[in-house]
Structure 1
């Protein structure tokens, strides 16, 4: 056990769980139409999806978008309908870090931009998520990174100041906002690089990910 070490806070999408909306949309309309839809700056899928991450309901989101962009009506509903196809499995290396930290008694939190309506899909599919002491889901809090309010929600849920807690996220603007909130935040590039960041901070991790599964590894999704 390592009770003197600060908690570690993980972003989820493309840090612990691979995510790509293209396969979900393509499942209904094909690769070419999915690519065209996602590349359309007028629609701006990222901003549209972010609103759901911040608490907007999917029924409203699809209704409004389908009125404004009738040419994309099929693409708009395809993402939620085939959402599981956007979840590409856990990221090798990051899951091992989570499990090693958990085994060492480090408190673990997740802070994720994710729709409240769709987060249950991930909880059912990825056993590793149940190792976290708490998961702050933006859609449930109705505020999303990089809004300072979501970092305040993390502090409230953790029951302690954020200073010293290590936070990792693949989006630089979220990392910058986390640093403003007093987290020890790093940009995620690769699991090996993050492992090195944690080792440098004194966390009890092996220099490299285990070559054999730890005893409680589930089968990869």
Structure 2
């Protein structure tokens, strides 16, 4: 951590949180794997792949998110689901197409928190190989004090170690951090560790939740 906001890194007497930890995909960045796969094999085949009863895309994607390589993940499909190889390869080959843009209003939330001196952390399930697409495209990520990328640390949410790493890097205890994620399982894991955890639905609802906690948005 840079220590750019030392006055807020300390526990605040009024109970206001000391920092905010954001998930990235579908909280700050609109992510849809369908768009990438459709760019490679067409919309009908992409939907057929993602809806397949014999292949769990999200479980497969979790491997690289947890520190595995995309080469190994794709080789596994060749061995176990050869009829889906072309579809699986399309995802990484066209990954940039899966990043549809900024989630509406969330760039403003990030900028306002930063302007108010609130430390900002990212905790994202994202492969180390594909994460560079994010900071190259979304300039608000430069406002973050740190982003913990699961594929880089080999710990993906809801693994408790992922949350512990973000606390270690922030220099703040977990209970002083607000955590925002769109997945209930990840929010539940954070709450179980003592974080103030919020399920993300939209920017306006989140803004109200953060204001209720005394944060400047």
Same fold (TM over 0.5): yes
Q: Is the 8 A contact 1:66 1:76 kept in 2?
A: no
Matches within 5 A, 1:9-158: 9-158=21-170
Unmatched tracts of structure 2, length 5 or more: none
* Structure 1 position 41, deviation (Å): 2.9
> Matches of 2:26 and 2:214 in 1, distance apart?
25
* Structure 1 position 164, deviation (Å): 2.4
SS at match of 1:119: coil
SS at match of 2:175: coil
SS at match of 2:132: helix
Kindly provide the CA deviation profile for residues 130-174 of structure 1, in whole angstroms up to 9, marking residues without a partner as x.
110000000001010001111111111112211121110000000
Comparing 35-44 with 1-10, which one deviates more in the overlay? 1-10
> Matches of 2:56 and 2:69 in 1, distance apart?
18
Comparing 21-30 with 1-10, which one deviates more in the overlay? 1-10
* Structure 1 position 93, deviation (Å): 1.1
Q: Normalized against structure 1, the TM-score is what?
A: 0.90
Kindly provide the CA deviation profile for residues 57-113 of structure 1, in whole angstroms up to 9, marking residues without a partner as x.
000100111221111111111000000000011112111100000011110001000
Matches within 5 A, 1:182-201: 182-201=194-213
> Matches of 1:103 and 1:128 in 2, distance apart?
12
User: How many equivalent pairs are there?
Assistant: 205
* Structure 1 position 203, deviation (Å): 0.9
Q: Which residue of 2 aligns with 1:213?
A: none
> Matches of 2:26 and 2:129 in 1, distance apart?
19
> Matches of 2:92 and 2:44 in 1, distance apart?
19
> Matches of 2:188 and 2:35 in 1, distance apart?
30
Q: Which residue of 2 aligns with 1:159?
A: 171
